Structure formats: structure tokens, C-alpha cells
Structure 1
Amino acid sequence: MAERDVTNRALWYSEEAPDPVKLGLLGWILVLVRGVPLFLLVLGGLIVLLAVRLFERPLCGMRRPVTAFIPQFVSRNAFRMLGIGFQTSGELMRQHGAVVANHSSWLDIFALNARKRVYFVSKAEVAKWPGIGWLARATGTVFIERDPRKARAQTKLFEERLKAGHKLLFFPEGTSTDGLRVLPFKTTLFAAFFAEELRDFMYVQPVTVIYHAPAGQPDRFYGWWGDMDFGPHLLKTLGALRQGRVELIYHAPAKVSDFPNRKALAAHCEDAIRHAHALARPEK
């Protein structure tokens, strides 16, 4: 059973203990009915991606004109198999740049891939996690290290990926929550956007992710936070008798050069996400 890494980053904890996972007979049936097709979808998508990448990489290098669509296809159909509603609003960013969003659950990976082809930015330790690390590498995740000596090299990597047309996705809160709030944004990663090589052509699009719980369930039903185990949360999601929905709101892209520094840009993105989140539900 996978556990959250608690040694390398700060985690957010609720004042109340997570809701217990209770699955009756019907719940376990739904786990199988939804879980088996979902597993086959993810596995099949990974196999196809790796097979296509064997030809795509030598021909196209860093660009992914074909394989970029595979995670999007998998993500869209994952929500259909789970029975979770999916809706979006706002225009997708056309310019080169990054996407930043609030973070509530492992479901965010499916949600943010479903409409927009993105590449996640993650700490280097994730690359070593069993299963998850391999999947992250295969789908083009950018891994970064908290080592000032490597900042220049990482900025160069960002530049190469962005100029190749990749949309890099960050979670500036630094951790996930119960989905009922937006935590203050950490500004460290925004500093890379102001590098001389990136600032003039770089845009950042804030995206608000909002989960609406199934009828009769706590508002934080889909939240995955602290050191909650992945396995029970996955079972709870698969075995839900009723499902809720996830809503994505795409805000206007912000041009990096319009802001004096990383703190101003981070505050702008946080305000946009926090305001839309507050309209959907009062912050706790």
C-alpha cells in the first residue's frame, strides 16, 4: 500500500481525522467493475505510449506530437469509468508557458490532463518511487532537485521543454489538501520563470480545481492529504455508490514580464485561483 512521502516535504493535515472507508458488498462490486477497466486503461495506455515513443523519440526528439495525446485520452476515459462528472470553463493558453493549479487529490493528475496536454513538474524523489516513478518518467514529467547548484541546469531544461511547446504544470501549494481550501502559494518555483532565457516569452495560466462530493458525502470526499494511504482512498473512490464531479476553471494567462518579481506573479495566480474557489464554496 503506497504511502505519502513525509520526509522530503511539508504536508497539510486537517484538524479532523480522515473519514473512515466503509465498503459494503455493492461497494466491493463497484471496486471490481470500475477498478479492473481503469487498470487496463492505464496499463494499455502506458504500453502504447512506450511503443510509440520508440519511434517518436529518434524522429522528433523532445517534441511529442503523438504520445502527448495518449495521457489525455486515458484521463478523459478514466473519469468515464469512475463515473465522476467532468466539466471545464475558460480558454486554454495558446502561448508558451506553464500552468499552476491548487492541489487536492491524486485525481488532479487525471483532471488536469483530461482537457489540456500538460507535463507535470515534480520533486526528484518521485522518480524513485515504485510504479509511480516509472509512470511519471514515461509521461514526460520534469523532475527537479532542491539544490541551488543545479538551478541553472534546471532553468535550461525548462527553457528546452517550453520552447518545444510543452506546457509545464506546477502545484505551488507544495502539498495537497482536503479540497476545501487553497493554501498560500510557495514562490520558489516561480523564480525560474524570471530567468533571462524565459521571461520575455513565458506565460503562466492559473487553473482552479474544484471537487464536488457525491450527494450525502462530506464535502472533502475526494481530498487526499497528509499521510493518508493511497490504497484506501482509491478503494473509497472506486466503491462510491454515487459519484460527484470535478470542475476546472481556466483563468487568463499572465505574461511573466508584466510582473516585477516572482512574489508578485505568485500572488496574482493565487488570487485568481483562490477567488474562483471561494465562489464555488466558502473556504474553511
Structure 2
Amino acid sequence: MSDWTQSRMEVPRVGPLGWLLVALRGTALALVTYGCLLLFLLVRLLERPLFGLARPWTPYITQGVCRSALFIMGFGYSVRGRPMAERGAIVANHVGWMDIFTLNAADRVYFVSKDDVADWPGIGILARVTGTMFIARKSTEAKVQQQMMEDRLRAGHRLLFFPEGTSTDSIRVLPFKTPLFQAFFTHGLDRVMYIQPVTVVYHAPLGRDPRYYGWWSDMSFAAHLLMVLATPRQGRVEVLFHPPVPVDGFENRKQLAAYCETVIRTAHPLAGPRG
């Protein structure tokens, strides 16, 4: 996470029922996630030599795990609109680690993530195995990363990235950064690629702070995960797929980023003013 901050949210204390839920849900999540990881690796042994960079089978395993995870944690979950049929990428607002489950459950995608995520305990190995593309924050790596994105897109991967560049409190959409959009304006990709904006909305449990599922500032992953697992009655998550737009309909990356930001923010019923 970045140092973007807002007023702190008080994290609820975990009671006896909460600890029981943590044990039950945590065990079920671990069994499903790491059990399917073994299946994933076995399938990948066949998939890689046959198809190379393309992955026609394993994304279905990832999607199944993420749908199961949302069910295990007790979330209400709904999807409006449809993932695009065209080749291209998805951009979405970013709330936190839960977006991994929320967005993978809705579509078979490959995340573009900051390189430090690769070293996170537990999550890092899952991200690497499932094809996450890691990017560095160094400007000197920009051209290399742009080429990586081009290669993945040409292989038919549906890349998903968060132009805000950081997780948020869930009720705000931050201004979109434009560098990653540049990959779609090189070597003719703009003539064949589409971008689909997606709005993700987390509704807090009844009576809770609207920012309940937000993960920002100095919140630790462990504490936030514990809070979510211990919640008796979860809220719900909505995923809104907006119509995809052709990249060549925009003059440059700034126009494309501004369009996506406006669409996502306008559709978010909880979002505050820009910035």
C-alpha cells in the first residue's frame, strides 16, 4: 500500500463467536486454496508445454477457487453486465486484497501487481503461479514492463490492473494514473485492443462503518483478514462490467484513463468527490 491516508477506521474486537468463525472459515479457505493449488500445478504441467504462454485451462481453476472463497466467507455477491468478448484489458477501482477473489470470481483475468506482492507470505506464491504480472516502480523499468504487457496481451491474456495505484477505503475512487495505459498505444495494439472499465462496490454489514472492507493506510493484512473472517453477517459485493471501448477511439493514454476513471466513479454509489 502507499502512504495515501484518510481518518482511521476502528477495527472491531474479535469475540468468541468471531474466533470460531475465523477457525472454520480459515480452515476451509486453506483447504480449498492450497488443495486446488496442487491441482493447478498438475494441470499446468500439461498446459505449459502444449500452449506456452497461453493458459486455456488453469484460469477456470482460479475462478472456481475465488467463487468458493466468497461463499466460504459468507459474502453476498452479484455481477451486472458481462465480461467483454473482445481482446484487451480490464481496469477497476481498487479496495484491497479482497479484490483478488471478487474480480477473479467474475472473470478469468491476470492481475498486474506491484512487485513487492510476489514476496508476501502465502499470497505471493499464489500470485506467481496463477500468472500475475509484476511491475516495478522504477521508471527505468517502464519499457521492459510495457513489452511484457504487450507480450501477454498478444498471447490472449485478459490483463486487469488498478490505475489508482493503491488500495483505498472502499468509498472513494482516486485519480487514475496513466503510465500503464501507454502499452495499448504501441505497435498497432490500439487497432485491435479494447478496454473494459469495471466498478467494484463493497457494501458494509448492516450497522457498520461504510469503509468496513476498505484496506488502506497502515492497516496490516493479518488484522484485516482476521476482521473479515470473524464477521458473523457479511455485507455484499457488486461487480459492474461497463461496455468495452476500442483503444483507437482515444487519442492518447490520458484520454483513455480519464474516460475509464469517469465511468467507474460515476457508477460507484458510495464514491466521494474526485481525489
Q: Same fold (TM over 0.5)?
A: yes
- Whichever residue aligns with residue 122 of structure 1, its letter is S
Aligned to 1:129: 120
Are residue 19 (structure 1) and residue 10 (structure 2) matched?
Answer: yes
**Alignment root-mean-square deviation, CA:** 1.5
The secondary structure found in structure 2 opposite 1:117 is: coil
TM-score (norm 2): 0.95
Change (3 A) 1:148 1:30: closer
Of 219, 223, 242, the residue aligned with 1:232 is: 223
Are residue 99 (structure 1) and residue 86 (structure 2) matched?
Answer: no
More moved, 265-274 vs 214-223: 214-223
Are residue 199 (structure 1) and residue 196 (structure 2) matched?
Answer: no
Q: Shift of the alpha carbon at 1:60?
A: 1.1
The secondary structure found in structure 1 opposite 2:219 is: coil
Q: Distance in 2 between matches of 1:197 and 1:126?
A: 31
Q: Distance in 1 between matches of 2:37 and 2:220?
A: 24
Q: Distance in 2 between matches of 1:27 and 1:129?
A: 25
Change (3 A) 1:258 1:40: same
User: Residue by residue, what CA displacement relative to the aligned partner does 1:76-114 show, whole Å, maximum 9, x if unpaired?
Assistant: 011110110110101211111110000112111100000
- Whichever residue aligns with residue 184 of structure 2, its letter is F
- Whichever residue aligns with residue 79 of structure 2, its letter is T
User: Residue by residue, what CA displacement relative to the aligned partner does 1:104-144 show, whole Å, maximum 9, x if unpaired?
Assistant: 12111100000100000112232233332221110000112
Q: Shift of the alpha carbon at 1:283?
A: 1.8
The secondary structure found in structure 1 opposite 2:86 is: coil
Matched-pair contact (CA < 8 Å) for 1:179–1:210: yes
The secondary structure found in structure 1 opposite 2:191 is: coil
Aligned to 1:171: 162
Are residue 270 (structure 1) and residue 261 (structure 2) matched?
Answer: yes
Q: Shift of the alpha carbon at 1:147?
A: 4.2
Structure 1: unaligned runs, 5 residues or longer: 5-9
Identity of aligned residues (%): 54
More moved, 248-257 vs 139-148: 139-148
Q: Shift of the alpha carbon at 1:160?
A: 2.3
Structure 2: unaligned runs, 5 residues or longer: none
Of 70, 90, 103, the residue aligned with 2:81 is: 90
User: Residue by residue, what CA displacement relative to the aligned partner does 1:13-37 show, whole Å, maximum 9, x if unpaired?
Assistant: 112x231231111111111121110
Q: Shift of the alpha carbon at 1:155?
A: 2.8
Are residue 223 (structure 1) and residue 214 (structure 2) matched?
Answer: yes
Q: Shift of the alpha carbon at 1:148?
A: 4.5
Matches within 5 A, 1:177-196: 177-196=168-187
- Whichever residue aligns with residue 118 of structure 1, its letter is V
TM-score (norm 1): 0.92
The secondary structure found in structure 2 opposite 1:19 is: coil
Task: Give the total of aligned pairs.
Answer: 273
Q: Shift of the alpha carbon at 1:154?
A: 2.7
- Whichever residue aligns with residue 66 of structure 1, its letter is W
Q: Distance in 2 between matches of 1:128 and 1:179?
A: 25
